[in-house]
Amino acid sequence: MNNSALRTPHSTLTISFTLNGSPISLDVDPTDRLLDTLRYRLGLTGTKEGCGEGECGACTVYLDGLPVNSCLVPTYQVRGRRVATVESLPGARLDPLLAHGATQCGACTPGVAMTACWIIDHPDLLGSHTVRELLAGNLCRCTGYDGIVDGIAAALQARR
Amino acid sequence: MRRPAPPVYSPTVQRLEGLAKLTGRECYVDDFPLEEFLWGATVRSPAPRGRITRIHFDPDIEWSQFTVVDYRDVPGPNVIALIESDQPVLAPGYVRHVHEAVVLLAHPDRAALRRAVAAVRIEVAAEPAVFDFRVTPRPNQIQYGPDNILKHLRISKGDVERGLAGAPIVVEGTYETGAQEHLYLEPQGMIAALEGDVLVVRGSMQCPYYILKALREALGRDETRLRVIQTPTGGGFGGKEEYPSTIALHAALLALQSGKPVKIVYDRGEDMAATTKRHPSLVRHRTGVTPDGRLLAQDIEVVMDGGAYVTLSPVVLSRGIIHAAGPYACDHVRVDGRAMFSNAVPFGAFRGFGAPQTHFANERHMDRIAARLGLDPAELRRRNLLRDEESTATGQVIRDGTDRRAVLEQALLLADYDAKRAAHTRFNRSSAAKRRGIGIATFHHGAGFTGSGEVMLASRLVVAGLPDGTVEVRSANIEMGQGTLTVFTALAAQRLGLDPAHVRIAEADTARVPNSGPTVASRTAMVVGRLVERACDDLLRRLGAEAATGDAVRAAIRHWHEGHRGAELLGEARYTPPPGVVWDDVRYRGDAYGTFAWGAYVAEVEVDLRTYETRVIDFVAVQEVGKVLHEVLARGQVQGGVAQAIGWALLEDCRWKDGAMANAQLTNYLIPTSDDLPAIRVAFLETPYPYGAQGAKGLGELPMDGPAPAIVNAVAAATGADPCVIPLTPERLMADIKNAEHGTRNAELRQVGR
């Protein structure tokens, strides 16, 4: 879909990073968003665009293990770093979320699943924060969050 | 892989597409694989009203590389077919609201396209616009009929003037509600492509056949050369009821012009600015009551802002006025409703469809009456809730065997209402900066289309027996998160005694599925689910296997195909109205709905008197919805609806400039986060409805009706203020509290203190 003749001229950068555990090299424009690179260049459409301004969390990916909004990350900034998307989550980990009604329309869900798994993997955070606080960067318009919060609680329970 | 079919479907079946959604595999419109396509975009009006004098294309852009479409390229009548034919596909030289679509562009590169959109300048000779639907328009602002009234509807029961004249106490009140953005997390999107001679439109939608009709009319193209396919839809809430016809037409025009597939996906800002919202409303009440709280007469005036085109405003108004008097018995009721033209982006369908607005007014007003009489708000409701054999405002006699008082009592019990009221009194005396209060709302919601609507829809549904012995449900009703796929699968599996794995739901593709009506009005599980059951019965009849179930059904289907190679085995059902339902659409009298769902919600709030922020600290939602078809899905509908309504009540404030949303971004249009909400406690009472699937009634919209009044009633109880306008933002509440303190308003409330 790129039509270079029409693009504002930029120098192209070649970057290497780790994507879902595998090394990858890409030519990117400095203005490319990680979200678009993942979705439209690499075909990883699990990551969704909900707002494009870092408010809704639908585009959440892990950057060096931390959840970030990929709509706010210029792709060149992931040079040399580890990126993990929802495609890297094993389905079995998501069973408690499914059972408790954590997904309805599904548009926020990949981002919610990323944040939920991050909370479940870091139960120490719950010493200083509630699940509802940790989840507040992911907007959901369908569930009222109860199904998500209950699913995370069940998964944490199962880990003990 | 075969395993014996269980004799009865297990209700623990989980959301069928749930894992695909959780793992990101679900393929939404913007994920749909496309080759050699163009992105489409819309150039919109900068002005609210006037003649387009010039469209300037910046010469720095190489326009020959773009597909450009305007109103002259619409092959048929330039009209988006809906109730009226007043809304153009593309503005024909005249605009009636900001963001009205004027020119369409398409190009392979999205960034180049965005620059091109910014390089088109539309010049408008401005004419006097009207923005305040509450005031009578000046002559030069009249743009619809003689008075800018898009629709005027009336309900009359008994003699309201006589009832008021004879009432010892008359309580008045005026209530207002603001617009609300749907904020489905997946923005609107559509792909149009010519496949041979057939124009195929795929996208995010609630009503494939609405789009088919709109395409047929404006493109002048018969249905054999049109096909509409729903892609998994990331939330709708009504926002994808009528609006998708517009974006489908835009994508279609660009695809026809360019000969290439065209994809239009709105970004969040465009979606918030240019698409529909909940109708703002103003409702006035004048109510006659006895000193012990019996309702004698309800005189209600409802005014809604329809925006710049008729769209669905007549039916939103209709549902609004039918619910305006609440679930109460009263002999004399008059409701006068008007939907007004304004030069705002048209308002449209949104979960609840006019009823949340009128329920907010009525339930706030009930608390004002209770305060005036010195009655517990719960007691006032106990005394007036409809009993079986009593009638609603339209004269519909309720006899569904539901105990509406039991719904209220269950809610009060779960919320610990009496103890909380006492505890709040103590808390409020001891706390300097915080105030707590509890509030209730009792309400109802008619399920399915209003009046004769379901009869006119004449929905049709098919269940096909396939050669491998599985069955396929073919319906136009779509999954948008509410659980249609799971519920239809479960209904068919149970009816036929099959393992749910042997049932599939066909893609909602107008080339393959009959028109079972739109996915709106809380009708899908109740009305269309019943068609699923009846089509299954018809399938068994055709097999001559009425008594058969499970493996015997599968064997009979396979056997039938051995004898009828290449033929289709179809069980079919058409809508038939429940017996005894009579509606007079001229006089607005009779059975407005086949049935109502009933709710009683209790909200507990804490108000911070330093910041005037309101936090909902507990919420109990009890409802009677007939049979609950799926516990997890049903609870999710209620919790999600309550959350959306909490946003409408407290946070979601559409700010306007020239009739367009000025805060069209999530940075300053706030919806509730997980941290803004308490756990929402849900309970169901079940009185099966004989004409709904397995006894189900409509559920999806009911939870939108109760929370706003329950919350604002709780704020009133906490603070002594009398808020009448939502969203009740901190700024508004501060003014309300100051007013109450200074006694500049609400003289009535002071009498209550005695």
CB of A88 within 8 Å of a chain B CB? The answer is no
Which residues in chain A have their CB less than 8 angstroms from residue B615's CB? none
Flag whether pLDDT at B1 surpasses 70. Answer: no
**Closest chain B CA to residue A58:** B185
Query: Residue B4 has what pLDDT?
Result: 38
Query: Residue B544 has what pLDDT?
Result: 92
CB atoms within 10 A of CB B597: 28
Write out the two tokens for A87. Answer: 């495609």
Which residues in chain B have their CB less than 8 angstroms from residue A104's CB? 235, 481-483, 636, 640
Flag whether pLDDT at B615 surpasses 80. Answer: yes
Read out DSSP for B88-107?
-SS--SEESSTT-EEEEEEE
The alpha carbons of chain B give a radius of gyration, in whole angstroms, of 27
Pairing of strands B262-265, A22-28: unpaired
Flag whether pLDDT at B743 surpasses 80. Answer: no
Q: Which residue has the tokens 């408790």?
A: A100
Of B155, B255, B174, B689, nearest to B448 (Cα)? B689
Contact B190, B201 (CB under 8 A): yes
Report the distance separating Cα B285 and Cα B321, nearest Å: 12
CB of B422 within 8 Å of a chain A CB? The answer is no
Mean pLDDT over residues B346-350, rounded? 98
Contact B502, B470 (CB under 8 A): yes
Which comes out higher in pLDDT, residue B538 or B743? B538
Residues with Cβ < 8 Å from B220, sequence gap 6 or more?
Answer: B75, B76, B77
CB-count exposure of residue B508 (10 Å: 0-12, 13-18, 19+): buried
Write out the two tokens for B105. Answer: 């562009």
Q: Is the dihedral of CA B732, B733, B734, B738 positive or negative?
A: positive
Confidence of residue B742 (pLDDT cuts 50, 70, 90): confident
In three-state form (DSSP H/G/I as H, E/B as E, the rest C), the secondary structure along B704-747 is: HHCHHHHHHHHHHHHHCCCCCEECCCHHHHHHHHHHHHHCCCCH
| pLDDT tens profile B223-232 | 999 999 999 9
Query: Residue A37 has what pLDDT?
Result: 98
Kindly determine whether residue B237 and residue A53, on different chains, have CB atoms separated by under 8 Å: no
Flag whether pLDDT at B3 surpasses 50. Answer: no
pTM: 0.96
Which residues in chain A have their CB less than 8 angstroms from residue B115's CB? 8
Flag whether pLDDT at B343 surpasses 90. Answer: yes
- B116 half-sphere exposure, CB direction, 13 A CA radius: 25
Query: Residue A10 has what pLDDT?
Result: 63
Query: Residue A159 has what pLDDT?
Result: 84
| B209 three-class SS | helix
Pairing of strands B460-465, B471-474: antiparallel
Q: What is the DSSP letter of A47?
A: S
Query: Residue B545 has what pLDDT?
Result: 80
Phi-psi region for residue B333, left (φ > 0), alpha (ψ -120 to 50) or beta? Answer: beta
Flag whether pLDDT at B10 surpasses 80. Answer: no
**Closest chain A CA to residue B646:** A144
Flag whether pLDDT at B493 surpasses 50. Answer: yes
Read out DSSP for B372-400?
HHT--HHHHHHHHBPPTT-B-TT-PBP-S
**Which residues are bridge partners to B597 per DSSP?**
B445
Query: Residue B546 has what pLDDT?
Result: 78
Mean pLDDT over residues B654-664, rounded? 96
Closest approach of B570 to chain A, Cα-based (Å): 30
The closest CB to that of B643, out of A6, A87, A145, belongs to A145
Closest approach of B649 to chain A, Cα-based (Å): 15
Query: Residue B744 has what pLDDT?
Result: 53
Kindly determine whether residue B184 and residue A102, on different chains, have CB atoms separated by under 8 Å: no
Query: Residue B547 has what pLDDT?
Result: 78
Which 616-635 residues of chain B touch chain A by CB within 8 A?
A: 632-633, 635
Residues with Cβ < 8 Å from B315, sequence gap 6 or more?
Answer: B83, B353, B354, B450, B453
CB atoms within 10 A of CB B79: 17
**What are the backbone dihedrals phi and psi of residue B738, each rounded to the nearest 5 degrees, phi first?**
-60, -40
Confidence of residue B6 (pLDDT cuts 50, 70, 90): very low
CB of A33 within 8 Å of a chain B CB? The answer is no
CB of B119 within 8 Å of a chain A CB? The answer is no
Over pLDDT 70: what percentage of chain B?
A: 97
Q: Is the dihedral of CA B200, B206, B209, B212 positive or negative?
A: negative
Query: Residue A9 has what pLDDT?
Result: 54
Report the distance separating Cα B517 and Cα B66, nearest Å: 38
- A117 half-sphere exposure, CB direction, 13 A CA radius: 26
The closest CB to that of B666, out of A46, A51, A102, belongs to A51
Closest approach of B232 to chain A, Cα-based (Å): 8
Flag whether pLDDT at B11 surpasses 50. Answer: no
Residue environment code for B671-693, b if the CB has 16+ CB neighbours within 10 A, otherwise e: bbbbebbbebbbbbbebebebbb
Query: Residue A11 has what pLDDT?
Result: 77
Report the distance separating Cα B740 and Cα B177, nearest Å: 20
Contact A62, A79 (CB under 8 A): no
Q: What does the mean pLDDT of chain B come to?
A: 96
Which residues in chain A have their CB less than 8 angstroms from residue B27's CB? 45
**Angle (CA) B208 B515 A143, round 5°:** 55
Contact B575, B455 (CB under 8 A): yes
| DSSP H or E segment with residue B643 | helix B631-646
Flag whether pLDDT at B488 surpasses 50. Answer: yes
| pLDDT tens profile B24-35 | 999 999 999 999
Confidence of residue B12 (pLDDT cuts 50, 70, 90): low
Confidence of residue B540 (pLDDT cuts 50, 70, 90): very high
Residues with Cβ < 8 Å from B274, sequence gap 6 or more?
Answer: B42, B44, B99, B101, B266, B345
Closest approach of B18 to chain A, Cα-based (Å): 6
Mean pLDDT over residues B597-605, rounded? 98
Low-confidence residues of chain A: pLDDT under 50: 1-7
Kindly determine whether residue A109 and residue B30, on different chains, have CB atoms separated by under 8 Å: no
Query: Residue B5 has what pLDDT?
Result: 39
Flag whether pLDDT at B748 surpasses 50. Answer: no
